[in-house]
Amino acid sequence: MAKVKPFIIGTRNSGEFLCAGAEILRGGGSAIDAVEASTKLVEANPKDDSVGYAGIPNLLGKVELDASIMDGKTLKTGAVGAVKGYLHVISIARMVMEKTPHVMLVGSGAELFAKSMGFKKQNLLTKDAKEKYQSFLKRYADLPKEGEKPWYVNYDVDFGLRDWYDKLTDKQHGTVNIMAIDAKGNICSGVSTSGTAFKFPGRLGDSPIIGAGNYCDNRFGAAACTGRGELAIRLSLARSLVSYMKNGLSVREACFRGMKDINELHEKGGMNCLAIDNKGNTMSASTSRESVHWYMDVDSKQPEQRTGIWVKE
């Protein structure tokens, strides 16, 4: 197969975070290092309220982060879910992949692991995110009076979880998907998120679930998702996209087919995907909007915007 010029793609903001990864690839570095470096920039960005620092908190006002990373050469992968107090969950996920015999750690176990690996605990809740949480409470929740059951106990019944969840817009969730191919032809994909805004504590979306929100295999390509994570979990969406490529669909056809699968669930919430094949073709798709993604290769001076496809119902 013809050699692919090393490149990195991602889904977030204006793609400026890709510069760090492109620099690593330019120096002959690995796809894993490139994906981790670029993802960390998004995690640390205080303007980004659905990934890392400044993420919108869960139902109890705590920021809970999920992330996963996958190495397409070995199919090794690491993931963490519902992590509180540690910023670079993509790096913790990478440590799970490289330093443990496991694939996924969640909650207090993931935090214990992060601490033992030397990650520093920090506050991730910004003033702005706290204000969003408080106005959410004012709008949707009747705070319990003394002696009453806390309002989140009957979350679905009293609080209308499903109705409210159906009304979530792109403003209340978001995730960063980044993937790269290096000079050796190795592919890596990474995903990091604070998940759906005001989610139930302990709720995991698709991002840390390998096969749902993230999948990568050098032989075919990689795929990752953002949107209503429950739908991607139900369809094993990222793995399905890679399987479509394995079975001969182009990356564009695979993304189209994956978004059609989502539409066939007839659920609200929307889904987006980002994918590459192992020949270096890139694509993104969405069920709810114009889809774009950002690309940088080793010769790029700045991120290039690429248009994906909108797969309507």
Catalytic site positions:
175
* Least separation in angstroms between CB 272 and ligand ASP: 7
Are 41 and 20 a contacting pair, CB within 8 Å? yes
CA 290 to chain centre: 19
Distance CA 102, CA 96 (A): 7
Q: What is the DSSP letter of 113?
A: H
* Least separation in angstroms between CB 12 and ligand ASP: 10
**Cα dihedral sign, 281-1-70-99:** negative
Binding residue (CB under 6 A) for ligand ASP from 39, 186, 189, 196: 196
Binding footprint of ligand ASP, residue count (CB under 6 A): 13
Distance CA 87, CA 228 (A): 22
49 near ligand ASP, judged by CB under 6 A: no
Q: Which is nearer to ligand ASP, 25 or 204 (CB)?
A: 204
**Cα dihedral sign, 30-33-36-39:** negative
64 near ligand ASP, judged by CB under 6 A: no
Q: Which is nearer to ligand ASP, 263 or 281 (CB)?
A: 263
Binding residue (CB under 6 A) for ligand ASP from 193, 218, 243, 278: 193
* Least separation in angstroms between CB 24 and ligand ASP: 25
Q: What is the DSSP letter of 74?
A: T
Task: Provide the mask over 219-258, with x wherever binding to ligand ASP is found by CB under 6 A and - wherever it is not.
Answer: -------xx-x-----------------------------
- Residues in region 126-155 near ligand ASP by CB under 6 A: none
Distance CA 282, CA 241 (A): 13
* Least separation in angstroms between CB 189 and ligand ASP: 14
CA 303 to chain centre: 20
Binding residue (CB under 6 A) for ligand ASP from 45, 68, 91, 175: 175
* Least separation in angstroms between CB 170 and ligand ASP: 8
Distance CA 281, CA 293 (A): 12
* Residue 2: strand, helix, or coil: coil
173 near ligand ASP, judged by CB under 6 A: yes
Q: Which stretch binds ligand ASP (CB under 6 A): 144-152, 193-201, 258-266, 284-292?
A: 193-201
β partners of residue 306? 293
Distance CA 280, CA 305 (A): 16
85 near ligand ASP, judged by CB under 6 A: no
Angle (CA) 163 147 61, round 5°: 50
- List of residues contacting ligand ASP (CB under 6 A): 173-175, 193, 195-196, 205-207, 213, 226-227, 229
